[in-house]
Chain A
Amino acid sequence: MAAVQTTSERALNRIAIVGVLIATIIFLAPIYWIVSTSFKPRNLATTIPPTVLFEPEISPFVKLVLRRSQLREQPTPEEYAAAPWWERLVFDGGEKVVRDGQGNVQLSGYPSRFVNSLIVAIVSTVLAVGMGTITAYGFSRFKVKGEQDWLFFILSTRMLPPVVVAIPMFLMYRVVGLNDTHLGLIILYTAFNLSFSVWLMKGFIDEIPKEYEEAALVDGYTRMEAFFKVVLPEAATGIAATAVFCFITAWNEYAFALIMTRRTAQTAPPFIPSQVGSGLPDWTVIASGTFLFLLPVAIFTFLLRNHLLRGMSFGAIRK
């Protein structure tokens, strides 16, 4: 701006600071509410007026991972004293931990859904980024007839509405037995992320000067060696950013998971809402499950902050 700030400029700046502050509070309030609810005792989750100050508890997280049932009769003082701390937390909530015949503690549905989410997101990310990187290299360095058309074709597969693709995929998976399997979901997410990965990686590889590889070729490297030893290390940042974007997309995906999985391979996004069934939901447990699920994405967002613009615009806009 101008070297000398006028009074009105300064006033505008002050208004902007206040405005940004209000916007930040409004945008972060729902996230804060998820985090704070996940540490609340159950009776404080749904109070009128809402409870802001409270003593944080770990019990929602304990309840989240354990299978519980209604406590029919109070535990005897001996039973209560003999129980480990986490079991006591469940007793305090008027419930008991469900055990199998051998007395082993049963886990709730959440841990396995979380693990499913991890498996599906990681494997599909590796596949999408691996294939995407080599394809992007191919488009970036070699002449391909009708390159723009091929790239448009690749992009267009990403634009299909999930439900539209899901109907035939569901029928085909039923024939080959891929419904409710990790592999089925991995294939879908790889296909979904592949186009994104090609587009983003093409941008990153285009930025690596061709001279690097040419120098390597002159030095006696084969094209393959030049790709692995020269291009890939140069593209490392781009690959990492692309991978994080693919991971987040697969991690967050809901519609395919809802339609294609029931139990065995079900991921967290369709599972978490299914806990809010009939009756009064325990929002502290839902919040703790939500919080754990959102945490990796929040961390990744901070790591990705300099690449967000590029990723969110399919590489169309670069800083």
Chain B
Amino acid sequence: MTTLTMTTLDPRSRAARRGLSDLSIRNLFIIPTIIFLIVFNIFPLLYSLGYSFTDFRASSNAPANFVGLDNYRTLLNDPFIWSNFAITAKYVIVSVTGQVIVGFGVALLLNREIPFKGLITTLLLLPMMLSMAVVGLFWKLLYDPSFGIINYAFGLGRFEWLSNPDMALYAVALTDIWMWSPFVMLLSLAGLSAVPKHLYEAAAIDRAGPIYTFFRITLPLVAPILMIAIIFRTMEAFKTFDLAYILTSQPTTEVISIRLYKMAFQEWQTGMSCALAYIVLIMVIAITNIYVKYLNKVKER
């Protein structure tokens, strides 16, 4: 990072002789940010990598003993951890699928001639801007079996959403769908508005039906941007913590982030939790890589 070629300024110009050189300005502007991120993101991760090979417990004064790969071995052989991952996977699939269907569906509707389109679009985007934890909490009231408005509005009687172990994960996913469908909608709208109108006109001249037009024109052209939305939401859903933690305490909704939180800050198995954090981290990096590769591919066009 130190040996670089610069867009050099003509050395004879007056400005180049006064003030800082371009090279020092560039370093002054970039290096502090890089250092900040290394100190507060990379260094902590190295710190916890060290602890992941120990039996350290932050709640006791006992010194940490080196245990090698034991933590990793224990975790990867623990069926409960695998069930946490399975719950997370189920949550990701249900929630992202729901967001894509609802978000893309509403975007298709909004892409027609709708009065007050701008205002309605902004209103629909509101949920994703709000705090997951704070709004998520309020969904407890909405889901309440006796006086919640959801059961009332849909005539579900005293349907148990959060206290039913089989239903709780879907309830959390439903709230997530409410919050994040607007995100898919926003990106889909951008994709839809970029579809050239003449393609539809040509299709109309050829008397193509709406279903044909949708699958042959709309969907292929919106697909790249929709894919960005899907990968982004998958990544976020995989990391999910707030909603599930606040809405329920069912074991059936214990996604991997909650397991990690409990292991680290309730059971105080610090060393073990650092190892689990690393397993999660590797998975996140893998998904992030796919995302960035795809993003670059789309950007190039």
Instruction: Give the interface of A toward B (CB within 8 A).
Output: 1-2, 8, 12-13, 16-17, 19-20, 23-24, 27-31, 33-34, 37, 46-50, 131-132, 134-135, 137-139, 141-146, 150, 152-157, 159-172, 174, 187-188, 190-191, 194-195, 198, 217-218, 220-225, 227, 248, 251-252, 254-255, 259, 268-270, 272-273, 276, 283, 286-287, 290, 293-294, 297-298, 300-302, 305, 308-309, 312-314, 316-317, 319
Contacts and interface: CB of A to CB of B under 8 A. Distances in A.
8 contacts: A23-B109, A46-B146, A135-B32, A142-B25, A156-B288, A164-B284, A167-B273, A316-B228
A29 B148 CA distance: 12
A2 B113 CA distance: 13
Question: How big is the B interface, by class?
Answer: 35 or more
Contacts, number: 309
Contact of A144 (B1, B232, B239): B1
B61 interface: no
B135 A30 contact: yes
B7 interface: yes
B203 to A, nearest CB: 10
Interface of B: 1, 3-7, 9, 13-15, 18-20, 22, 25-26, 28-30, 32-34, 36-37, 40-42, 44-45, 47-48, 51, 58, 106, 108-110, 112-115, 118, 120-135, 137-142, 144, 146-149, 152-153, 178, 181-183, 186-187, 189-190, 197, 200-201, 204, 210, 225, 228, 232, 235, 239, 241-242, 246, 257, 260-261, 264-265, 270, 273-274, 277, 280-281, 284-285, 288, 291-292, 295, 298-299
Nearest to B111: A16
Contacts of B45: 160, 164-165, 168
B51 A145 contact: no
A248 B130 CA distance: 8
A16 B107 CA distance: 10
A223 B120 contact: no
A144 B20 contact: no
Contacts of B178: 27, 30
A153 B130 CA distance: 28
Contacts of A37: 141
A305 B187 contact: no
A155 B153 CA distance: 43
Contact of B274 (A17, A168, A309): A168
Binding site secondary structure of chain B: helix
Contact of B133 (A138, A157, A225, A270): A270
Given A24-B124, A159-B284, A154 B33 contact: yes
A308 B113 CA distance: 22
A159 to B, nearest CB: 4
Given A19-B109, A20-B120, A162 B33 contact: no
A280 to B, nearest CB: 11
A27 B147 CA distance: 19
A269 B137 CA distance: 10
Binding site secondary structure of chain A: helix
Contacts of A308: 125, 186
Given A2-B201, A137-B29, A168-B47, A290 B187 contact: no
Contacts of A168: 44-45, 47-48, 51, 274
B32 A131 contact: yes
Nearest to A289: B134
Contacts of B239: 161-162
Nearest to A270: B133
Given A167-B277, A227-B25, A259-B265, 11 more contacts: A13-B112, A13-B113, A159-B288, A162-B257, A164-B45, A167-B48, A170-B264, A198-B33, A255-B241, A309-B190, A317-B190
A16 B109 contact: yes
A264 B231 CA distance: 38
A27 B291 CA distance: 28
Contacts of A2: 200-201, 204
A156 B285 contact: yes
B40 A167 contact: no
Given A33-B149, A131-B32, A167-B277, A225 B113 contact: no
B298 to A, nearest CB: 7
Contacts of A154: 33-34, 37
B200 to A, nearest CB: 7
B298 A273 contact: no
Contacts of A29: 149, 153
B115 A17 contact: yes
A16 B112 CA distance: 7
Contact of B135 (A17, A34, A153, A222): A34
A295 B15 CA distance: 48
B131 A252 contact: yes
B143 to A, nearest CB: 11
A1 B131 contact: no
B36 A223 contact: no
Given A159-B288, A254-B242, A287 B138 contact: yes
Contacts of A195: 37
A160 B33 CA distance: 17
Contacts of A155: 288, 292
Given A194-B33, A217-B13, A33 B280 contact: no
B261 A163 contact: yes
